[in-house]
Amino acid sequence: MSITNNIEKFRKEKRILFTTPSHGQGNFVAPKSLKMIGHKFFTCDYSEIEGFDNLSNPVGMIKSSQDNAAQIYGAKATFYLTNGSTSGIIAAMYSVLKRGDKVAIARNCHKSIYNGLVLTGALPIWILPQYNEEWGIFETINLDYLEEVFYKNSDIKAFIMTNPTYEGCMSDIYRISAICRKYNILLIVDEAHGALWNFNKALGTPSLVQGADIVVQSLHKTAGALNPCALLHISRECNINPKTIQQALNLITTTSPSYPLLLNIENTIEYLSSAKGQFCIQDLVKNVNRLVRNIKLLPNLEVYSYNNDITKLLIKVTNLSGFELSEILFEKYKIEDELANEKAVLLLTGLGTTKSKLKKLENALNDLCLNNIKISQEKYRNDKHFVPVEPRVRYVPAAVWGKFSKDVELKYALSRVCMELIVDYPPGAPILLPGEVIKKEHIAYLNDKGRTTVKVLL
């Protein structure tokens, strides 16, 4: 029986619960929350009561719901994550990496991978994807370079990469997984931004289908679920025991998972895989494509279109930095983007992106480009982007965790060991990680950003 049906059945039983959660399925809701959220959400919130299941050791309705999801996704096992892709990524790392193990990681990774490095004590071998200076973004990984790194480090246990990138760039996972297999390296893909791919071929081909071993997806990013609903899949070909993943998840996730989130995960998957859901995704694709076609005709405007997932709109306007464009969109049109860099702005769309919302964006861009709207560049004079340099790892993140640090002036920071996680914008690619050597390029960049000090190892 599904989680949804079980909860509906349970409600009819009218059992008297002396259990957590203490709101008693909405008998008490803090008054301001009641006003803002209402009480319905609380009525679905239970703990592991009789007849329910346990997310940390599922044997009943959660197990059958997860098994059903695994079939839909073509996975050996699928895990529901109520702590986001963040928890899936860390658990995947914990399942396969031990202290001192080498792990290759594409540098445009999410910060959860840094957390995974601290917890596992693994040694990162950083892979720099190609960098597109024109757009200020990482793109795909050069496969010859990847193979060379694997060849030189025969003891790499796993390779972790992001596909698609935050900005939608897609990699050839078929070829990457073949290279990983050749060197007996496990492929973990952070597909947080590709949760619609399994249900619409025009958007992208799921990494699981292309041969990845473990894939993590955020259902809340594009697929319309609540924050932070996510999934972890193990491929049918991967020999990792699902129990190992479960144990790792249990190490880092709450023992009180949210039933409203579990329900939402189940219902979202059911909807996405239904004819109605697929029509809804197709409609989004059609509407975004129409917008892109129209705005591409505007003078001075460019839309990033190179093998990317079109639900992510990366846009730039001549003579405006991404930061300026972002400010104009927000101040003049109340349009808030996901992020901006020196070159462009990123606008994310998903199942909740209505036609009228896209029309508002189109109208704003029309107005902005046709009326040549500008703002003062003065404010953004220091907003330079960082052109990535090869990281030099002096200590693995776990080795410097909790060690003493001090602030030093930038001019004295050259060759010192950084003790901060420096990221341009959360969750952008890291510029410096704790344990890495500070290079002159880092100092120049931090200086441009107006910083005067940096934390270094004492």
**Residue 49's CB: how many other CB atoms inside 10 A?**
11
Looking up tokens 């405006």 gives 320
48 versus 190: smaller Cβ distance to ligand PLP: 190
**Smallest separation (angstroms) from ligand PLP to the CB of 85:** 3
End-to-end Cα distance, the chain: 57
**What pairs with residue 346 in β-bridges?**
314, 339
Q: Cis link prior to 21 (omega < 30° from 0)? A: yes
Of 29 and 113, CB closest to ligand PLP: 113
Q: Report the 3 state secondary structure along 218-245.
A: ECCCCCCCCCCCEEEEEECCCCCCHHHH
DSSP state of 360: H
Compute the least distance from the CB of residue 219 to ligand PLP, in Å: 8
Nearer to ligand PLP, 82 or 210 (CB): 82
**Residues 374, 319: contact at Cβ < 8 Å?**
yes
Contact status, residue 112 vs residue 93, Cβ threshold 8 Å: no
Report the C-alpha gap between 216 and 210 in whole angstroms: 14
Closest CB to ligand PLP among 217 and 287? Answer: 217
Residue sitting closest to ligand PLP (CB): 84
Shortest Cβ 185–ligand PLP spacing (Å): 20
- 245 close to 77: Cβ distance less than 8 angstroms: yes
Chain contacts with ligand PLP (rule: CB under 6 A): 84-86, 110, 112, 162, 166, 190, 192-193, 218, 228, 230, 427
Nearer CB in complex with ligand PLP: 86/210: 86
Q: How far is the CB of 83 from ligand PLP (least distance, A)?
A: 7
Secondary structure class of 375 (helix, strand, coil): coil
Q: Is the CB of residue 26 less than 8 Å from the CB of residue 43?
A: yes
Quote the Cα angle for 442-447-448, to 5°: 100
* Smallest distance, ligand PLP to C-beta of residue 94, A: 15
Decide whether 262 or 417 has the Cβ nearer to ligand PLP: 262
Please state the closest distance from residue 193 (CB atom) to ligand PLP, in A. Answer: 6
Show the DSSP H helices in 404-453 as ranges: 440-448
Nearer to ligand PLP, 76 or 110 (CB): 110
Residue 248 or 301: which CB sits closer to ligand PLP?
248
Least distance between ligand PLP and beta carbon 429 (Å):
9
**Closest CA relative to residue 374, chosen from 324, 418, 419, 310:** 324
Provide, rounded to whole angstroms, the least separation between the CB of residue 112 and ligand PLP: 6
